Amino acid sequence: MTTSVIGYPRIGKLRELKFAIESYFKGDNTQTDLLAVAKSLRATHWRQQADNKIQYISSNDFSFYDAILDTACLLNIIPKRYQQLNLPALDQYFAMARGYQGEHGDVHALAMKKWFNTNYHYLVPEIEATTEIKLVGSKPFDEYLEAKQLGIETKPVIIGPLTFLKLAKLPAGQTYQHYQAAVIAAYQNIIAKFSQLGVNWLQIDEPILVTDLNQQDIQAFEQIYQALLAKKRNVKVLLQTYFGDIRDCYAQVTAQSFDGIGIDFVEGKQSVTLLQQHGFPADKILFAGVINGKNIWRNNYANTLALLDKIKAKTTKLVINTSCSLLHVPYTLQSETKLTIAQKAYFTFAQEKLQELAELGLLIKEADAKQHTAYKSNQVLFTREREGTHHAIKQRVTALTKQDFVRLPEFAEREKLQQQKLNLPVLPTTTIGSFPQTGDVRLNRAKFKKGEINQAQYTEFNQQKISECIKLQENIGLDVLVHGEFERNDMVEYFGESLNGFLFTEKAWVQSYGTRCVKPPVIWGDVSRSKPFTVEYSQYAQSLTNKPVKGMLTGPVTILNWSFPREDISYKESVFQIGLAIADEVLDLEAAGIGIIQIDEAALKEKLPLRKADWHSEYLDWAIPAFRLVHSKVKPETQIHTHMCYSEFTDIIKEIDQMDADVISFEASRSNLEIIDVLKRNNFKTEVGPGVYDIHSPRVPSIDEIRLTIEKLLAKIDKQKLWVNPDCGLKTRGEKEVVASLTNLVKATQAIRQEL
Ligand code: GLN
Ligand code: ZN
């Protein structure tokens, strides 16, 4: 049985590419140095796959920043503002990726967006009225030849025309169909060039096919591929889909003259049914995505072999594939020195997934696979109870009833009681939680971790910072204060470290965008809380002031979404376990006299399914209750806040209101306050703090600017429901700009209060 990999991570086992690129940015590294690092990484990655006998290895899955950006450059889609900089090609490329400020000019970067349902972000190509779409680059061809020189025949991979067009930003008033002919011509040239080079297989990625498509999209798909496949010559074309099933266009996809079709059987909930109902054309190869490219748990061979049996009943021309590019998992378990051998047995990162593919390729041929040692040792993991299992926690979740998700009395009544108790001025001012994490704060944490200072010294330093932070906020004149989050490295990691059931890796980095990587915690077992972990600092902060200090927590959905989730229990069960642990913390904060508690759900939208039909059944029906569970038992006069990053939640605004928080703050400043109309139209009941300035920029907003924003907000939002705050935490900002910005925020608010 043959095996295939859709794409391999490119940042390097120890993030070599990240560091080489960042040195190049700083001028410590020449272009030649950078190209050499890139070349050697590509060679390593191809060899690793070849060593594991992968037959279909990708080339052109490498990128200095992002594959969509590479495609834009390949097709000459370079907005004028970058051309006018007159930079060498590589620098122009990086200018598009991250903006440019220097002697050649001053331009913003291309917009960046979340790549489907992953935590990877791509750069949005920008087609201008004057753009001439045509093949101009040679990257895919060069990399194919580079591999060939190493003796490795690869399948080049390119982003498909439909996905590319649907993700691109177009000139006002245009539809993507307007550019279809030009894009087809450019792709025909790409295929012609591959044909000249003697390429055997070409992989064209069309993840857009797993999203909701309309009739025009399907028609565009058919037109594009009829035109391309008519000219494929001696090149075999694999149409690769991932991140879901292709239920809207299965018939149209299988009707085209592709030589192979890649289908995701891990995230594609309906993939098996589609295959069973419609069959699979006998003249094509099915690339069956059965190894999870997004999560790090070892494959369960019993389940996968059973799945492959179902697939084999419909087609015998089969290749075993990853479900998506391995870009979304870390490199290798070999770099982990702190996980136990018993723990490591449960995981596979990119490199170990190659072995899984190879083993499955062997097992599927065996008449009696179950007798095979590879099978037996795999099944041991799935038949015995894992360390980290706690029946008491599971029972707590099972015992939950409807009432555990309902806070009483209802919102309107609580709102009155809270107003009486808190007695805040109209348009209360506050911040989102963190204050600048300056060098001394990080140093203190690092010293404590290394054992250079003891617990008392560590805490004393943090208390000092808290007390300065409280004084600062009082001086500025804010109404609801925060302790500043100096003890937290990261809003999820800190919680993972304080709760039972999480594992942490040392080197398991995953690319988030460009040179930025994240190292998500692993939800390993049943999650619980042994003791309160935020109460002490919050209580200390509250003891220093008569103004209310908000307790500050991370919500269960965000903790789940920014970790590697379990596969042995449902997201729902896992998130309820986390919810119960946080709920205990909420009640302890309340008992300690904290009257306002903020529970951040920064990443609420992260796992929202790609298809609207699945939003409720697969996500919102447990994600929203998980948040309600966390605060359902607090007293009516305790005020619950939440905070969300990103403003693209217009389409789930009702569900957000149903989280039943008392106050929500979010990022609206970058989206031109568009969301405010949506709040009004939907009669949004929760009090709101839409964020009056953008904290992602070091700019200090003026008093007048903030006044204007607040006035705009007041035109649409009842003054009794409006809060004034920055749009996210201040952790990444400098102290000086924070003081200036917050001072202006308070002054602007005071001026407006005079007029009300
Ligand atoms: N409370 C967190 C902070 O202020 C929220 C961060 C976030 O929304 N990403 O840093
Ligand atoms: Zn935020």
User: Atom 3, ligand 1: which residue's CA is nearest?
Assistant: 729
Q: How far is the CA of 224 from the centre of ligand 1 (A)?
A: 44
How far apart CA 546 and CA 747 sit, in angstroms, is 21
The per-residue pLDDT for range 118-160, each reduced to its tens digit, is 989 999 999 999 999 999 999 999 999 999 999 999 999 999 9
How far apart CA 405 and CA 384 sit, in angstroms, is 33
Looking at every residue in the chain, the average pLDDT score rounds to 96
User: Atom 10, ligand 1: which residue's CA is nearest?
Assistant: 729
Tokens of 580: 């119960």
Q: How far is the CA of 434 from the centre of ligand 1 (A)?
A: 6
Give start-end residues of each CATH 3.20.20.210 domain in the chain. 2-79+109-383, 406-507+533-755
In our burial notation (b when 16+ CB lie closer than 10 A, e otherwise), range 507-523 reads bbbbbbbbbebbebbbb
Q: Is 267 annotated as a binding residue?
A: no
How far apart CA 209 and CA 203 sit, in angstroms, is 15
CATH 3.20.20.210 corresponds to the domain 406-507+533-755: yes
Name the residue type at position 92: Q
Name every protein residue with a CB atom under 6 angstroms from any ligand 1 atom. Answer: 432-434, 485, 491, 552, 600, 602, 643, 645, 728-729, 731
Count CB atoms within 10 A of the CB of residue 303.
Answer: 11
Q: Is 324 annotated as a binding residue?
A: no
What does each C-alpha distance from 640 to 359, 477, 553, 594, 662 come to in angstroms? 51, 22, 11, 11, 5
Residue 446: pLDDT above 80?
yes
The per-residue pLDDT for range 163-184, each reduced to its tens digit, is 999 999 999 999 999 999 999 9
The closest alpha carbon to 261, from 310, 201, 308, belongs to 201
| Strand (E) or helix (H) holding 105 | strand 105-107
Q: How far is the CA of 728 from the centre of ligand 1 (A)?
A: 6
**Residue to probe by mutation, ligand 1, list 600, 664, 725, most atoms within 8 Å of CB:** 600
* Residue 488 CA, closest ligand 1 atom number: 10
DSSP per-residue codes, 663-702: EEEE--GGGTTTHHHHHHHTT--SEEE--SS-TTS-PPPP
Tokens of 571: 């997201």
What single-letter DSSP state applies at residue 120? Answer: -
The per-residue pLDDT for range 641-650, each reduced to its tens digit, is 999 987 678 8
**From start to end of 311-416, where are the E strands?**
318-322
Instruction: List, as ranges, residues with CB under 5 A of the ion ligand 2.
Output: 602, 645, 728
What single-letter DSSP state applies at residue 720? Answer: G
The closest alpha carbon to 291, from 321, 327, 260, 246, belongs to 321
DSSP per-residue codes, 5-47: -S----S-TTSHHHHHHHHHHHTSS-HHHHHHHHHHHHHHHHH
Give the pLDDT confidence score for residue 671 in this predicted structure: 63
* Residue 552 CA, closest ligand 1 atom number: 1
The model carries a pTM of 0.94
- Sequence length of the chain is 756
| Angle ∠(548,549,555) on CA atoms, nearest 5 | 125
Q: How far is the CA of 664 from the centre of ligand 2 (A)?
A: 11
User: Atom 4, ligand 1: which residue's CA is nearest?
Assistant: 729
Instruction: Please give the ipTM for the structure prediction.
Output: 0.99
Q: Is 47 annotated as a binding residue?
A: no
Give the pLDDT confidence score for residue 6 in this predicted structure: 98
Q: How far is the CA of 702 from the centre of ligand 1 (A)?
A: 23
- Considering the chain, what percentage of its residues have pLDDT values greater than 70? 99
Among this protein's residues, is 696 annotated catalytic?
yes
Q: Which residues pair with 666 in a beta bridge?
A: 644
**What is the separation, in whole angstroms, between the first and last Cα of the chain?**
75
Three-state secondary structure call for residue 656: helix
* Residue 554 CA, closest ligand 1 atom number: 1
How far apart CA 608 and CA 689 sit, in angstroms, is 23
Q: Is 681 annotated as a binding residue?
A: no
Class of domain 2-79+109-383: alpha beta
